[in-house]
Structure 1
Amino acid sequence: MNETKKHYLAEEPLGKLLLKFSVPCVLSMLVSALYNIVDQIFIGQGVGYLGNAATNVVYPYTVAALALALLAGDGCAALLSLSLGRGEKESAHRCVGSGMMLCAAVGLVLMALGLAFQEEILTLFGVTESCHGYAAEYMTVITLGIPFYVFASGMNSVIRADGSPGYSMFATVLGAVLNLILDPVAIFALGMGVWGAAAATIIGQAASCAATLFYFRRPKSFSLQRASFRPSGLLCRRIGQLGISSFITQIAIVAVMAVANNMIVLCGPRSVYGADIPLSVVGIVMKVFGIVIAFSVGIAVGGQPIVGFNYGARNFERVRGTYSRILWANLAVGSLAMLLFEACPQALVSLFGNESQLYNEFACLCFRVFLGGILLCCIQKASSIFLQSIGKPVKAAVLSLSRDVVFLLPGVVLLARLFGVEGMLWAAPAADALSALLTLLLVGGELKKMRGNRAGVISTVCG
């Protein structure tokens, strides 16, 4: 048996391995999602729903930054796992160096664009006259922290792929804890409002970035050299191909938010809710949605080193076994979330401040309808990461695009125009159902290839 086959990813029990990688990964992604939720909660209590509407307008720009961070980071992590599984040490350290350079460049470019084109960006994402002042104030500060956010978010994926999920979690939690402590101090004690919330966020992001950078002094499975940072078009292209699914998953949220916000501004005044209430509520619901997807994608990304290594080593039985466990975990997460959203949405709404009866009515409707297909969405998101992990970027991209871009966006526009802001909420569960069918087709085909003529998705879940 060669050295590759003796690697712990090829030998240790799959359940134990998946727990080892997924739990820290889920916690890291959950903490990242909570950055925005924490701001929403404190701003809702200290400023009101117009403050939350303002953060909702800025939110898509931060998600766009995350999308580009994961394009480089998750792509680099997938290539690292595949390279280690094949025993390609040169490719391992070169891809990490390229990923680091890409994350640094992306962060600086996005900061410059955000500062230079702030007004155009706010208009693109549906700012209203009522919340414009808060939105401009919040975005000015948040944009300054974008380089820290991009580098930490992207390279944390590489730390996990290097076999250090615990450290990855520590780096992310460090920033979140600082944000959690500083938010109420800035908003309530110092009376700094949305400016203070944004400042607390970027201080936490800077701390996470410093901890992430420190890790690469002594990584486990590769050694960074000067040659690691030498530009390579081939490696950057491969990183982009493997990271495209993660990129699409996030950038689709940006597109959905932009379209939904603009449809709310257009159609909201014709409803009893107006525009500002739906603008605030949809932002909150999307961020709660992000927490559930943090669990879903975190489980799948946690399994990525196991899947990628064993696929590279052609140990397909372990690949199928890992996916089976990822799928079962997502079924549990999606079922619990769906039950929570359908049974007690008002409890979630009240976390973000005590508003009018009209506000609460629309918020409960939004949770129940817009997130009604969350179970199917969890399976689709995790399956897209699985396809990315086995080096199938085209199929991963198609699956990522299907839910949010192909099905959801047209549905939001059509239903909003036909039935107003209440009607557009039904676009999400319809998109979840259609993309679940595509998941069955694409992932089932790959599993069938791996096991010959014997099975598909159903037998893998049962196995």
Structure 2
Amino acid sequence: MTNKCSKETLMRDYPVKSTLLKLAVPSMIGMLASALYNLVDTIFVGMLNSTNSMAAVSVSFPFFVILMAIGTMIGVGAASYVGRLLGANKKALADRASGLALLLSIAFSVGIMIIGFLFMNQIMTLMGASQEVLPYAKSYSNWLLIGAIFTISNLVFNSLLRTEGASKMSMFTIIIGAVANIILDPIFMWNFGLGLAGAAIATVISQAISTVLMLSFYLRKKSLIVINLNTLLTRTPEDFSIVKQIFSIGFPVFMTQFLAAIAFTVLNATAAVFGAPALAAMGIVNKIYTIITQMVGGYTNAFLPFASYNIGAKLYLRVKESIFFSLGITFLYSIGIIGIINLVPEFFIQLFTKDPEVIQLGVNCLKMQTYLLVGYSFIFVMTAVFQAMGESKKPTFISIARQGLLLIPFTLILPRIFQQGVPTFIEKLGSYPMESGLYGLMLAQPLADLITLCVCIIFCVATLKKLNGLSHSKSDAESLNL
């Protein structure tokens, strides 16, 4: 059996649970390594003992999230569509869709670079940079712009690799990049004397290494998917439909992360009202929580192409089994994280700061953020189900509701409401006393997740009924040789 055939056999014929774990573990490790890029920068920048430098990294974080949002949008959209095409044995169209996804990543990278360089001052100021922090934020973000093509294309390549079952290759390239970042950060920051800019340069070079490794995988024709750069220069009648499919499925993911970037900006501005310690604490917790949720995202990134492929192949019983297994595994993960956070919350905050006030505020925020992690995991798994089935409206609404319609207003309104007084049971959610308004700020995300969870459950009913009907159809019985 050839390598390419084995990848298709893995998606179609292997036991569901073992296949998902085989795909998910490398994907989760890869997502964790990817999240470490920004986290490692934060840790090394903290060693500079410069408040302005640390603030610059926090201010630039929403900008980094936007780059990731674009890459994830194209990558997830392509993964869902290409997976269904491979499952339906439409290999040529799958190749074309993969190539167009790569072209889209290049086009968006160039566009972001142009806009970013033209309006850098306005963007950084909008994200909360003061006049003192602005030069530092620009120094860091300018290099993020230069590396935008690597940030975006890495996410696209990784989604495509997971779609064809090459999750180990995806993991390997991301880990190589993350290790390179850890090695290069101190070299550029201190050996070359570049300080904050050195951290950003190290990140760009590390991401470039990952991009080259993944691109070589395709150029050496080791992949199931074939990307022919020459044929991409000519247009075909299917191109518009392919791009439409990519955007229709990927747009909800973009909205989730784009609105998250806006929410981070609003969060920073609101936290700043309560002083620098509150701003620092919220920034630290956001990074920790991002890593926690990236693990869920890593799992769903492996689950999505598996579900898409089997939906395309009309193997609906495998899809149903994969959904319930995925809900179970992410539930256990969430419960474990909640338990660990509540046992040793100080440990995680102390990785970034020794300031007692920041530690106390960070502990309260971290505990409150993770209480609804189970709901977050359910939302993410079911959103992937909607995307795999080609249902774009449901995940779009969920994304906009969670981050836009709920989180941003809650961030602005709840601190004012809680300023009037905090119920005793809410005070017990944290470990240390703090200003009343901060309880509202820290509970904005959990409350938004709770309401979104209720909406998601309502949406799930119709989708699962539809899937249940398909699993008992004649076409499914035939496809399973029953």
**TM-score normalised over the length of structure 2:** 0.87
Of 107, 124, 127, 2:109 maps to 107
Task: Give the equivalent residue in structure 1 for 2:30.
Answer: 28
- Pairing 1:305-454 to 2, within 5 Å after superposition: 305-355=305-355, 357-418=356-417, 419=419, 420-452=437-469
Q: Following TM superposition, by how much is the alpha carbon of 1:451 offset from its aligned partner in structure 2, in angstroms?
A: 1.3
Aligned to 2:289: 289
Q: How does 1:141-160 map to 2 (within 5 A)?
A: 141-160=143-162
Question: Retained in 2: the 8 A contact 1:304–1:386?
Answer: yes
Matching of residues 28-427 of structure 1 within 5 Å:
28-217=30-219, 218-225=221-228, 226-231=230-235, 232-265=239-272, 267-268=273-274, 274=275, 276-355=276-355, 357-418=356-417, 419=419, 420-427=437-444
Deviations 1:257-316 (A, max 9, x none): 121122234x33xxxxx1x22222222211111111111111111112220111112211
Report the counterpart of residue 459 of structure 1 in structure 2.
Answer: none
CA positional deviation for 1:165: 0.8
Hey, what's the Cα distance between the residues in 2 that align with 1:285 and 1:83? 40
Whole-angstrom CA distance in 2 between matches of 1:371 and 1:46:
30
Q: 1:352 deviation in Å?
A: 0.6
Aligned partners of 1:165 and 1:450: how far apart in 2? 27
Q: How far is the alpha carbon of 1:190 from its aligned partner?
A: 4.4
Shift of 1:402: 2.6
Which has the higher mean CA deviation after the structures are superposed, 376-385 or 127-136?
127-136
1:70-116 deviation per Cα after TM superposition (whole angstroms, max 9, x unaligned) = 11111111111000111212321110111010001111111222222
User: Residue type of the partner of 1:442?
Assistant: F
Judge which range, 23-32 or 421-430, deviates more: 421-430
Shift of 1:134: 2.2
1:449 Cα deviation after fit: 1.5
Indicate if the aligned counterparts of 2:371 and 2:446 stay in contact, CA closer than 8 A.
yes
How big is the shift at 1:53? 2.0
Aligned partners of 1:24 and 1:169 also within 8 Å: yes
CA distance in 2 between counterparts of 1:358 and 1:440 reads: 39
SS at match of 1:63: helix
Q: Which amino acid counterpart does residue 350 of structure 2 have in structure 1?
A: S
Counterparts of 2:57 and 2:415 in 1: how far apart (Å)? 23
Query: Which digits, 9 at most, give the CA deviation of each residue in 1:7-52, with x for residues without a partner?
Result: 4322100111101111111111111111111111111233344432
Superposed CA offset, 1:201-249 (max 9, x none)? 1110111111121122115333333334544222111110121232122
Contact 1:66–1:153, Cα closer than 8 Å, also in 2: yes
Q: Look up the match of 2:477.
A: none
Q: Which residue of 1 aligns with 2:434?
A: none
Q: What is the CA distance between 1:188 and its match in structure 2?
A: 4.4
Give the Cα–Cα distance (whole angstroms) in 2 for the partners of residues 422 and 128 of structure 1.
25
C-alpha distance in 1 between matches for 2:210 and 2:218: 13
Check whether the contact 2:74–2:247 (CA below 8 A) recurs between aligned residues: yes
Residues 242 and 388 of structure 1 are in contact (CA less than 8 Å); yes or no, is this contact kept in structure 2? yes
> Following the alignment from structure 1 to structure 2, what is the Cα–Cα distance between the partners of residues 140 and 358?
32
User: Which 4+ stretches in 1 moved above 6 angstroms?
Assistant: none
Q: Which amino acid aligns with 2:265?
A: A
Q: State the SS of the aligned residue for 2:451.
A: helix
2: distance between equivalents of 1:401 and 1:21?
A: 29
Residues of 2 paired with 1:383 and 1:292: CA distance? Answer: 18
CA drift at 1:422: 3.9
The residue that corresponds to 2:433 in the other structure is none
CA distance in 2, matches of 1:411, 1:354: 30
Give the CA deviation at 1:453. 11
Please name the residue that 1:458 is paired with: none
Q: Could you tell me whether the CA contact under 8 Å between 1:162 and 1:221 is conserved in 2?
A: yes
Residue type at the aligned position of 1:412: T
Secondary structure at the counterpart of residue 303 of structure 1 = helix
State the alpha-carbon separation in 1 of the partners of residues 234 and 282 from structure 2: 44
Q: Distance in 2 between matches of 1:395 and 1:239?
A: 16
| Distance in 2 separating the partners of 1:453 and 1:349 | 48
Query: 1:440 corresponds to which letter in structure 2?
Result: I
Identity of aligned residues (%): 27
CA displacement at 1:366 relative to structure 2:
1.4
- Letter aligned with residue 299 of structure 1: Y
SS of residue in 1 equivalent to 2:129:
coil
For residue 343 of structure 1, report the CA deviation from its aligned partner: 2.6
Structure 1 residues 48, 332: CA separation in 2 closer, same or farther (over 3 Å shift)?
farther
The range that moved more, 433-442 or 32-41, is 433-442
The one-letter code matched in structure 2 to 1:26 is M
2:286 alignment partner AA: M
Counterparts of 2:233 and 2:33, CA distance in 1: 30
The root-mean-square deviation of aligned C-alpha atoms, in Å, is: 2.2
The number of equivalent residue pairs is 444
- TM-score of the superposed pair, with normalisation by structure 1: 0.91
Alpha-carbon distance between aligned partners in 1 of 2:247 and 2:463, rounded to the nearest angstrom: 21
